[in-house]
Structure formats: structure tokens, C-alpha cells
Structure 1
Amino acid sequence: MEKSKSVSTPLGAHFRLSSATEKEVREQEVYMRDIPYQSAVGLLMYSMVGTRPDLAYAIGMVYRFISSPIKIHWQAVKRILRYLRGTTKVKLAYTNEGKFIVRGYCDADYGAGLDKRKSVTGMVFTVGGNVVSWRSNLQKSIALSTTEAEWITLGEASREAMWLRGFINELGFEQDLVEVFCDSQSAIALSRNPVHHEKTKHVDVKYNFVRELVSEKIIDVVKIATQYNPADIFTKVLPVGKMREALRFLRITEN
């Protein structure tokens, strides 16, 4: 890929990836025999875990097919490599600007998994404005509504917020309340009052502890407009402009 043309996003909107059928695997077996799919994905994952959160969603996508990849999956991996080709100097940047406090941002993409229609959870946490934790993954259960998908994501983000809060308190930086920003008004309402109980009573009890954390003032769920939510890059393919804006906010830059 050394001479490949660079692209502006890790994945294009035209990629609609799903698991290969047995027929597709058989037909493309010869083509895929010498393709280093697993090695390429593993190396890309190393970059993402180290200093490239902007790769999280794309790598999470191609990793789903690591056991039986076909040509379209390999094309998606090469797209990520083309993105890296043009962003070799991009990395996480840490500064001492702002207050040393934990803040979280979370988002969900309802029914995004084409195989089982599972939703995607995305979250990112900053300390003093610097990114320290991020995640993009399929939810373990199938959400029956957008509210449920966001509620599950909020539950996952709340656990991460508690851990980070405890960690920085051990370091001597006391913080009573962690703000977790969410762009779902219904999930925020649910965190403060079980107003949609009939529609969400089937959700695993472990996600409902968000209300307890809110009532005890350990976390505060705050509304953020979707266009300003940086966690969007961990749940879906974004337009170039919006992605660049999120990367600037998260201090993933060339500086």
C-alpha cells in the first residue's frame, strides 16, 4: 500500500459489511488464501490501542469477519491502510490545559450490525481534556429501540466513569461528580426517573444502576447536541468535516 492514494476517512459510507455466506467463502477461497487479513487487522489494532482512537470503529468493523474474510472485507482493511497513509503524523496530543477532571461522552448506533442487528456502543473519556479511554463495540444483546441502545451504552459508560473517578482520586485529584455527556434525551430522562418503565423493564438490571449513580451524585448525565458529540466517531462512518471536528476536540492532531 506504499503507493496507494490516501483517503480522508477510515471507512467509506459505501461499505455495508456483513458476514460471508458459505458460498462466498468457497468461491473466494483461492483469492483469500494468500491475503494477510488477520495480520493486517492485528497490526492496525495495535495502532488503535496505542494512539489512534480514530481507527476504533473501522477496526471493530473489520475484526468481526476475521475468521472468514472475503474480498469486500479485505477492501475495507485496505481502505484503513489508505487512511493511515495520509495521516502518518496524526496522534494523540496531551496538554496541561483545563481542569484535571474526568468527563465522558457516549453514543449508540441502533441496529447497526447487519448480521444480528445488534447496536454499536461508542464512548470516550477525557481527563483535563486529554483522551485516556475509548471503546467501540457491538452490544451483547439486541436492543429493541433507540432508547434501549442508548441506555445500555450509558450503563457501560457509567461503569467506566466510576473506575476513572476512583483512579484519579487515588492519585490525589479529588472529584465528586463525573459528567457523562449523552445526545439521547430519552436515555437522560430514564437515568433520572423510570418514565419509560413499561418499554425498558426487560433490560438487564445491571444497566439500571445508572439511576442510583445519578441519585447519589456520583455521575451526572448531561445533554449534548449530536453534532457536537465526539463519541459519534466510535459508532458510525461520519462525513469528513464532522470527523475532523471531532478529532480536533479530542486532540488527535498532527501537532
Structure 2
Amino acid sequence: MELSMYVTRQNWWSKALLSVKLDVKTAFLHGDLQEEIYMNQPPGYEAQSDLKLATGEFIYLLLYVDDMLIAASSQLEIYRMKRQFSKQFEMKELGEARKILGMEICRDKEAGKVWLTQRAYIEKVLKRFGIDDTTKAVTLPLAAHFQLSANLLDIAQAIGVVSRFMHDPDQGHWQAIKWILRYLKGTIDVGLVYERQQSSVGLCMGYTDSDYAGDIDRRRSTTGYLFTLAGGPVSWRSTLQSTVALSTTEAEYMAVTEAMKEAIWMQGLLDDLGVEHMTLTVFCDSQSAIFLTTNPVHHARTKHIDVRYHFVRDMIETGEVLLKKIDTKENHADMLTKVLSVQKFTYCKELMNVRAQR
């Protein structure tokens, strides 16, 4: 996906956001280019354009092949940008954005809320695999009784587990996949919710967690992290660690490192989008892992850890990213690393603003 933007620095979420979807007709006929194409302006170059934004306004432009989504706080600015594009391409306006890349968009402008769901896509998947009205829905994406082995955010952890066996699946793995589909059947209207906030300062938060030696076959641990913006998740990951951790602390430390790398990228993205923010904070529920990030002394319990994981110490020392302790029961990322009880799983979804529209 290519993302381009024309933006001025503003407290963007405190304003009403308007959006419109456009389609470029015969986009692929414009694909043969003879000249060199630059994704970023060369240093020192200033674009000359008659598209000038009024003070306090901004425009975000999302482009995927021939589909285009424009969002701004002013209908006038959207009109001016559409007119600018129409000078170069034949455009078709599809009205207010209600769907993009398979995601349905629902807005409550008075309440300042946006829902992103995938109802139509989920219905298509369920129909393909024969999950109909007679199939009973379940409340967890993966249950504790699925002890999957090679011998035999919501669904990220479950998908991560079953995906490890795509090269040689058997009946047990298929039963686990059917369980995930039954979960989707019961949560077809659940989506990501984002809410308008009074201030954008400090609105982005990160959470990280690990599941020590959860992989039955190779005893590797699982890394999970999650970042929220405007109250809802915008970036998350659940993945098996590349090496075996020799302790819970080491597994948590490795997870913190991956989250820190994502935090640095997130801060750069927020800067590019003109979002004012404080230093991004990442929360971890392992006090020993936090201590390890601030202790430069190598001893018998840490000297074997790959040096690439120790860059997190530099990030903490320079203050580029903050790392703070959080209670396990309040850790959003807990659901990305292990199978939880129904109560804890539901609570994690509420913490992340993953809920049905209401």
C-alpha cells in the first residue's frame, strides 16, 4: 500500500473529520512512465502548487492502486483537492467513504466515534467453509484444549498459532481453524472503535507481553505488542520469537525490544502526520525485564542474549521511548500471547476498544 499525504501540523482528532472515496478511471492505462519517479521530494526542493490550505486545515490522502480516500476537516478543501486531481485524471466520486480495502466504515459524528468492521468479508469466509446458521458460535478464538503440535486486535494469537502448521496440517489443526471460524460467527459485528479526544498529546500508547516457552515443539516463546491511537488499536503483532529464551525475563525482554522498534516507527509516523504527541510510552508487566533494560552490566544470566536485543537500552537512556510497569490484568497485549479465560479475554477487548457498534 502506498501512503501519500499533504498535511499541516494540527491537533487532528479534536476536529470533525470528513472523508470521501474516489476512483481513478482506467488507472492502469496511466502506468507506462518514461521518466524517473521519486516517492519523496529531493532535499531542498519546494513544490509549486496552487493547492494551498487555509490556516488550521489539513488533508490526508490514502491511495491504493486506483482507489483513493481523502479525509479533511473541511469540505471545501476536499473539493479543491478533487478539482486538482481532475485536471490530470478522469475521476469518479463514490460519495462519503463507507468502505475501503474490505473494511466497512461507520461514523457517529456527534459522538466523535468511528467503527471499522469486516462484516461482509467475514460472511464470505464463513460461507466458503460451510459455517452456517446451524453452527454454534463460541466466545474465544482458541480454547485451552487445543494443544497444537507439528505432530498432530482479537484472533491474532489464534491465527499465529495455526499458521505454524500450514506446511503439514492434520485433522487437529482443522478443528482449531473451525473453532476460529465459529468465534468469527459470534463476533461478526465487532470492530475497532476510535473516539475523538480533547487533546492528541499522549494519545498513543504501547503495550507488550510474552508467553514463555508456549511452543510445544521447539519451546520458543511468543511476542505480543499493541499500540493504540484515539482509544483504538492501530498496530499489533503476535509472533513466535526467533530463538529460544532461557527464562521468562529473557522472553519478556525480547518482546520489549520488538515493541520498542515499533514505537520508534510509530513516533515517526505521528510526526509525518502532524500529530502533536509526547514521548511514546510502552507498558510492560515484567519488572525484571524493565530492570534489565536499565542495567548495562553483563552477568551470567544475560551475557548470552543476542546483542541486537540490547539496543533497547539506548532508547531508554536517551529518552526516545519510555518503558513503564503495568499490572498484568491491565496489559492490553496479554490476549496476543496466550489463550485466556472468557472473562479476561473479554476484558482485554474492552480495554482495546474492540467492540460491537452501539
Give the TM-score normalised by structure 2. Answer: 0.61
Pairing 1:91–2:222 present:
no
Q: Provide the C-alpha distance between the structure 1 equivalents of 2:230 and 2:257, rounded to a whole number of angstroms.
A: 23
How many residue pairs match? The answer is 224
Among 104, 111, 117, the alignment partner of 2:213 is: 111
Quote the offset at 1:202 in angstroms: 1.3
Whole-angstrom CA distance in 1 between matches of 2:283 and 2:159: 24
Question: Match for residue 4 of structure 1?
Answer: 135
1:147–1:98 distance in 2 versus 1, CA, 3 Å? farther
> 1:141 aligned to 2:243?
yes
Tell me the residue number matched to 1:128.
230
Q: Which residue of 2 aligns with 1:102?
A: 204
1:99–1:128 Cα contact (<8 Å) kept:
no
What residue in structure 2 maps to residue 210 of structure 1?
312
Corresponding residue for residue 236 of structure 1 = 338
Tell me which of the two structures has the higher relative contact order, counting C-alpha pairs closer than 8 angstroms and 6 or more residues apart. Answer: 1
Give distance in 2, aligned partners of 1:217 and 1:243: 33
Task: Name 1:48's counterpart in structure 2.
Answer: none
Partner residue of 2:181? 81
Instruction: Tell me the CA shift for residue 196 of structure 1.
Output: 6.5
Q: Write the distance in 1 (CA, Å) between the matches of 2:324 and 2:301.
A: 22
Q: Report the CA distance between 1:97 and its aligned residue.
A: 2.7
- 2:147 maps to what in 1? 16
Correspondence for 1:186: 288
Q: Are residue 65 (structure 1) and residue 196 (structure 2) matched?
A: no
Identity between Structure 1 and Structure 2 (%): 47
From 137, 143, 155, the counterpart of 1:55:
155
Secondary structure at the aligned position of 2:282 is classed as strand
Where 1:8 maps in the other structure, the secondary structure is: coil
Contact map agreement 1:109 1:149 (CA 8 A) in 2: yes
The higher radius of gyration belongs to 2
| Runs of at least 5 residues in structure 1 that lack an aligned partner in the other structure | 25-52
Shift of 1:197: 3.5
Secondary structure, counterpart of 1:17 in structure 2: coil
Determine if contact 2:194/2:229 at 8 Å carries over to the other structure.
no
1:63 maps to a residue whose letter is S
The CA distance in 2 between the partners of 1:247 and 1:148, in whole Å, is: 27
Contiguous gaps of at least 5 residues in structure 2: 1-130
**8 Å Cα contact 1:189-1:195 kept in structure 2:** no
Q: Does 1:172 align with 2:274?
A: yes
**CA–CA distance in 2 between the matches of 1:196 and 1:180?**
24
Q: What is aligned with 2:115? A: none
| Worse overlay, 172-181 or 76-85 | 172-181
Aligned partner letter, 2:233: V
Distance 1:231 1:242 in 2: 12
- Normalised TM-score (structure 1): 0.85
